[in-house]
Structure 1
């Protein structure tokens, strides 16, 4: 007998950011210890990059297949020939951290305030490549938490930056992900927030 599936409205989640003072997107050098649970404290090497605009974060996996045809030219089998994945968002904050994501770490420098000028950020736009890093995205919906971990990701594209009266400046980026040692590009960890009380036992499914 097939297992009975119950409708549960708690399974419907929204993708709001889980942010406090640092935003919900973090990056660190590859090799930094990665979190295993949504509630884990991040390694100090992870740096937050501030607010993201209302479009949020979009993950786009792409699979390419090639068909194998028999003598009559009917497709009898398909082979996966390529897999790639990208993650896109637009920074709403104009900060050292968000600008490093847009321009590249080596292309952003800062100067502290003096009696002649305030805190300065200098950014250069050029053809230099972007560093590969580990990334963490934190999402929440009530008690639910979602942790998205990218062990190896690199900003590959940047978008148009609007400078308009009455509109916030945004810094759109698209990151390519690469497989970890197990061949996985992205790890998703979901926590429904329903913690057990003393004496209760969980059930693995």
Structure 2
């Protein structure tokens, strides 16, 4: 197959009315294509300009023969993580970062109050979807079971926006897959006589 510059993609956030990172209760059906409607998913809002990082990690053990030459490499484990930083500071971004959030609606005396609690608590497992675009082409990264396992350092300065960095660990579904990358090239067929 010849090389083609048309196959080079950028990884812009695919967001119009919602953010590009979405989550839902575990147990959602896998989307069939990158344009599927993800109804019921919660929006995570704006993400920092550093974007999304996907890190697959394969841990292996080497088997060598008597003279030390490698003859086989055995997969011991797979760990896939995704990391990003929330740019918005709201209930959803703090819920992702801290895990436990209480919200009290505004009163006549006090505006809406959000309380994020940090402690020795595990974050909930959720199904996650990450929408990426380049023109008409789309990528949907779908995680059937993901859990925030690292909430990164937050810096408060007058000179820059507060970001809430997180790392999502992924767990296998019934097929043994932790992460699905679903692509569409944006080229559709046109019905003859239609």
**Normalized against structure 2, the TM-score is what?**
0.95
Is residue 39 of structure 1 aligned with residue 32 of structure 2?
no
**How many angstroms apart in 1 are the aligned matches of 2:22 and 2:163?**
18
Choose from 157, 162, 178 the match for 1:185: 178
Aligned to 1:102: 97
SS at match of 1:88: strand
Choose from 184, 188, 198 the match for 2:191: 198
**How many angstroms apart in 1 are the aligned matches of 2:27 and 2:69?**
47
Deviation at 1:68, TM superposition (A): 1.2
Deviation at 1:166, TM superposition (A): 1.5
Aligned to 1:144: 137
**How many angstroms apart in 1 are the aligned matches of 2:28 and 2:66?**
52
Is residue 13 of structure 1 aligned with residue 9 of structure 2?
yes
**How many angstroms apart in 2 are the aligned matches of 1:181 and 1:131?**
19
Is residue 25 of structure 1 aligned with residue 21 of structure 2?
yes
**What are structure 1's unaligned runs of at least 5 residues?**
201-205
**How many angstroms apart in 1 are the aligned matches of 2:47 and 2:29?**
24
Deviation at 1:120, TM superposition (A): 1.1
Conserved? CA contact 2:28–2:144, under 8 Å: no
Choose from 105, 124, 136 the match for 1:112: 105
Is residue 82 of structure 1 aligned with residue 77 of structure 2?
yes
Aligned to 1:203: none
Deviation at 1:119, TM superposition (A): 1.1
Large movers: runs of 4+ above 3 Å: none
